[in-house]
């Protein structure tokens, strides 16, 4: 009996590590990225060097636009990744592939984190909080959760078609 409790406790700890640790790492990386270290002024030089290496005659205005696009795309992508990791953590080892509540919980956490992230940025020296960025963050998460839903729906439809052919 004691062995079952130990095995169950160990299994629970492994599940936490396997599914929730990546979420915590992602949130930690996002927190670090929202500091002055990753401000527009600090990332601009890196982005400009890369762009000028690829297209040496890019105008100053073009460089500003590209920097802006890269930074906004990073918002979208990092929150899409967070939503995917949260969904994966809520799903854990379930044999079910999709539950609306897993997507809802994931999205609600992303909304909270996006707002907290922008609030945090409002206290940094070279950054500012923006509700527009929070909305962009949430759109990245929503996009990812919709992709997960669509992929799951296609897989289910494919499995159903396969069963009906047998």
The model's pTM is 0.84
d(Cα 67, Cα 54) in Å, to the nearest integer? 14
Confidence of residue 1 (pLDDT cuts 50, 70, 90): very low
Going by C-alpha positions, the residue among 52, 53, 74 that lies closest to residue 140 is: 74
Q: How far is CA 47 from CA 42, 55, 154, in A?
A: 10, 12, 38
Enumerate the domain spans of the chain. 2-165
Of residues 10 and 63, the one with the higher pLDDT is 63
Would the CA dihedral through 140, 141, 146, 147 be positive or negative?
positive
What would you measure as the largest C-alpha separation in the chain, in angstroms? Answer: 73
Q: Is 154 exposed, middle or buried (0-12, 13-18, 19+ CB in 10 A)?
A: exposed
Of residues 2 and 71, the one with the higher pLDDT is 71
Average pLDDT over residues 100-119: 96
């Amino acid at each position: 009996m004691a062995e079952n409790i130990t095995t169950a406790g160990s299994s629970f700890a492994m599940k936490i590590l396997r599914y929730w640790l990546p979420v915590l790492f992602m949130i930690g990386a996002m927190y670090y990225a929202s500091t002055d270290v990753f401000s527009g002024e600090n990332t601009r030089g890196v982005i400009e060097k890369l762009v000028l290496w690829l297209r040496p005659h890019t105008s100053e205005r073009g460089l500003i636009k590209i920097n802006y696009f890269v930074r906004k795309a990073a918002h979208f992508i990092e929150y899409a990744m967070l939503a995917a990791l949260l969904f994966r953590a809520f799903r854990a080892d379930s044999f079910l592939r999709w539950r609306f509540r897993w997507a809802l919980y994931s999205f609600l956490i992303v909304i909270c984190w996006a707002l907290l992230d922008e609030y945090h940025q409002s206290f940094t020296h070279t950054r500012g909080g923006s509700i527009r960025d929070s909305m962009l963050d949430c759109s990245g998460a929503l996009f990812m959760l919709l992709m997960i839903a669509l992929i799951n729906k296609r897989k289910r439809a494919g499995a159903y078609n396969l069963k009906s052919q047998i």
